[in-house]
Structures are given as structure tokens and as C-alpha cells.
């Protein structure tokens, strides 16, 4: 169970480390070849990613077995992402929730949700993976949008910062991320629903062909129609986004998990 904590400032050196109730993640990286078909890594160029991603039953079963052994299944590019997401699920994503995962090369986020107890999981992507896993459905963005479906929770880990840059076959639009968040994502959640959003943050805005890094100013535009409920970063709960906190590795690798809720329509 969660320890009850007072909200903490993002720069508070006394912030307490939290643990998922079910496990402390190991640091094993045995899953890398299973996580990414053809050794895909987020650091590779998009042309290196197969045009069709196939999620096999064997991949899924190995992910779940590794989780139950306390092993890490997070991609090497996102150190600490598994721990922070698991803590965020325990706080903000009830097992009964209908969940839409936005953007997945491999189903590591979906495996974390499944182990958390969620059984109604759908993954949406421009390049819809072909799922051979009975527990997971995948849909194309256009297919979902036409149907006007709604869910209880959205989970987006290292996806939104790419939207509108054209890297993954989407139309180029310098404000594509802002539009996505304040239109599609906003109207996809049921009343009272929550989005768990992880994107790179920093004190200065950075935009490249690969991704964006969000300054406080651009983040304010991204969250224009959203209320921040809290943040999990490096195993800590806080009430401010840690724009100035030093990152390990490259700036885009350590991504705080934001819990946000749509504001009431005007």
C-alpha cells in the first residue's frame, strides 16, 4: 500500500523515495532482445524500425515472467521509467480502468498495466502493431478517432514530444503536440479520467527533428486544458514538474510521469 505523503516541492531534497507495493525492480537487462524486435532502441533512426511491428505471444509471456521475477523490462533508453510508471499506476490508475496506451514500439508499458491488474488495454499508434496477444488490442489512430471512443485512463510515455515532427509518418505541424493534447487526448477521456504523461523537460525549449524538450512555457501550452494532479520522478512524489532537476544521461532519457485531468469544458 502507499505511504501517505504530503505534497513535495520538485526541488525538495527531503523528498521520499517510494516503492511499488509488489516489488522493487531489479536492474537486469536480459529483456532487451525481447522488448525490441531486431534490437530496436529509441535511439535508432525511425527508418531502422520495421514497417510492421509484430507482438508475439512468446514476447508477452516473457515480459510477464520477468516482471514476476522482479526483473526490469524498461527499455535501456528510459532508466527508471518502469519504477515511476508502476508507482503512478498504483496512485492514479485503478485496475478496473479502461486504458488507452498512446504509441508503443514494444508492449512494455502494457505489460506493466497488465501486472497492475488492468485487463482492458488498447494500444493506439500511427503504425499499428500486429498483436498476436489475446490480452491486447491495437488500433490505428484514424480508426479510433472516427469511432469517438472514450476511456478512463490514457498512458503516454515518450510519445507526445514526437507528434507533429514527421518522424513517425505523421503530418509536420510545429504545434501538433499542443493540438493533440488539447483536442484528441482531452476528448478521449471519460469524465474524471486521468492521463499519465511522460515527456522530456528542461529549463529551455528544445525542438529537433527527433523530439522536443519542454520548457515551463511550452509545457503551459501543452497542459492548457489540463489540471496537474501530481508528478512521479525518480521514485518520488511531488507537486511541481522538475524542470531544473539534473538528468542522468541525455536530456530526453529521464522523463517525469505527470498525472493530469481534463479541466471542465467552458
pLDDT per residue over 55-82, tens digit each?
A: 999 999 999 999 999 999 998 888 899 9
The answer to whether residue 5 is domain-embedded is no
The answer to whether residue 163 is domain-embedded is yes
The answer to whether residue 163 scores a pLDDT higher than 50 is yes
Name the domain count of the chain. 1
Distance separating alpha carbons of residues 168 and 126, to the nearest angstrom: 8
The answer to whether residue 26 scores a pLDDT higher than 90 is no
The answer to whether residue 25 is domain-embedded is no
Asked whether the whole model's pTM tops 0.85, one would answer no
The answer to whether residue 194 is domain-embedded is yes
The answer to whether residue 12 is domain-embedded is no
- In this structure, what are the phi and psi dihedrals at residue 211, rounded to the nearest 5 degrees? -170, 175
Distance separating alpha carbons of residues 200 and 66, to the nearest angstrom: 27
Q: What is the pLDDT confidence band of residue 265, given thresholds at 50, 70 and 90?
A: confident
SS3 75: coil
| 6-10, 34-38, 129-133, 244-248: the lowest-pLDDT one | 6-10
The answer to whether residue 60 is domain-embedded is yes
Residue 45, pLDDT score: 41
The answer to whether residue 13 is domain-embedded is no
What average pLDDT score do residues 107-136 get? Answer: 93
The answer to whether residue 181 scores a pLDDT higher than 70 is yes
The answer to whether residue 8 is domain-embedded is no
> Cβ distance 151 to 99 under 8 Å?
yes
Residue 233 sits in a domain whose CATH number is 3.40.50.150
- In this structure, what are the phi and psi dihedrals at residue 212, rounded to the nearest 5 degrees? -110, 155
Q: Containing domain of residue 239, as a range?
A: 32-262
Amino acid at each position: 500500500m502507499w505511504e501517505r505523503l504530503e505534497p513535495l516541492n520538485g526541488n525538495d531534497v527531503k523528498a521520499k523515495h517510494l516503492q511499488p507495493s509488489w516489488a522493487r525492480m531489479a536492474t537486469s537487462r536480459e529483456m532487451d532482445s525481447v522488448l525490441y524486435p531486431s534490437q530496436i532502441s529509441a535511439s535508432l533512426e525511425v527508418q531502422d524500425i520495421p514497417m510492421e511491428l509484430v507482438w508475439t505471444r512468446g514476447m508477452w509471456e516473457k515480459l510477464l515472467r520477468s516482471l514476476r521475477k522482479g526483473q526490469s523490462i524498461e527499455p535501456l533508453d528510459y532508466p527508471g521509467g518502469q519504477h515511476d510508471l508502476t508507482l503512478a499506476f498504483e496512485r492514479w490508475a485503478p485496475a478496473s480502468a479502461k486504458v488507452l496506451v498512446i504509441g508503443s514500439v514494444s508492449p512494455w508499458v502494457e505489460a506493466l498495466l497488465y501486472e497492475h491488474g488492468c485487463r482492458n488495454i488498447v494500444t493506439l499508434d500511427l503504425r499499428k502493431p500486429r498483436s498476436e496477444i489475446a490480452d491486447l488490442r491495437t488500433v490505428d489512430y484514424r480508426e479510433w478517432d472516427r469511432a469517438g471512443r472514450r476511456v478512463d485512463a490514457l498512458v503516454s510515455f515518450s510519445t507526445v514530444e514526437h507528434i507533429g515532427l514527421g518522424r513517425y509518418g505523421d503530418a509536420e505541424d510545429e504545434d501538433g503536440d499542443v493540438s493533440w493534447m488539447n483536442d484528441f487526448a482531452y476528448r478521449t477521456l471519460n469524465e474524471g479520467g486521468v492521463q499519465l504523461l511522460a515527456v522530456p523537460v528542461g529549463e529551455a525549449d528544445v525542438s529537433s527533428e527527433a523530439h522536443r524538450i519542454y520548457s515551463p512555457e511550452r509545457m503551459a501550452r501543452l497542459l492548457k486544458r489540463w489540471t496537474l494532479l501530481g508528478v512521479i520522478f525518480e521514485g518520488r512524489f511531488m507537486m511541481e514538474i522538475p524542470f531544473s532537476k539534473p538528468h542522468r544521461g541525455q536530456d530526453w532519457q529521464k522523463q517525469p510521469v505527470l498525472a493530469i485531468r481534463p479541466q471542465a469544458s467552458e
